[in-house]
Amino acid sequence: MDIKKAIYATVIAGAGAVTTVYLTDEERRERLKAKSKEMYHKVCALTNKKKGKTSIKRMGNPDPYDIEDQRMVEEGALYSVQKYNEIKQ
C-alpha cells in the first residue's frame, strides 16, 4: 500500500516538474492558453447544440414558459421550507 502511494506521489511530482519547466517559456504559455480557450469554446458549442439552448443565457434569467425548469425551482423551494419546518418542530 505504501509503495503505491510513493509511486503516485513520484508521478504527480514529476508531472508538476515537467509542467513547470514547459510553462516557463512565455510563448508556450500563450499557445497553451489559446489552445485551452479554443477547446473550451468547442466543447461549449457541442454541448449547447445538444441542449438546444445555451445554459449561460438561462442562468439568472429563466424562461417563464419552461415548465420543467419552473417545476424544478418549485420543488427546490418546497424542500427547503419542509426542512425548515422539520427543524423547528
In sequence order, the 6+-apart residues with CB closer than 8 A to the CB of 53 are none
pLDDT at residue 62 tops 70: no
pLDDT digits (tens, 9 = 90+) for 23-61: 888 898 899 899 999 998 888 777 766 555 555 555 555
Reported residue count of the chain is: 89
Nearest to 30 by CA among 69, 22, 76: 22
- pLDDT, mean of residues 69-81: 65
- pLDDT, mean of residues 48-76: 60
CA torsion angle 14 20 21 26 (round to 10):
160
Structure confidence at residue 8 (pLDDT): 92
Nearest to 73 by CA among 84, 58, 86, 88: 58
pLDDT tier, 12 (very low <50, low <70, confident <90, very high otherwise): very high
- pTM above 0.85? no
Place of cell 510553462: 23
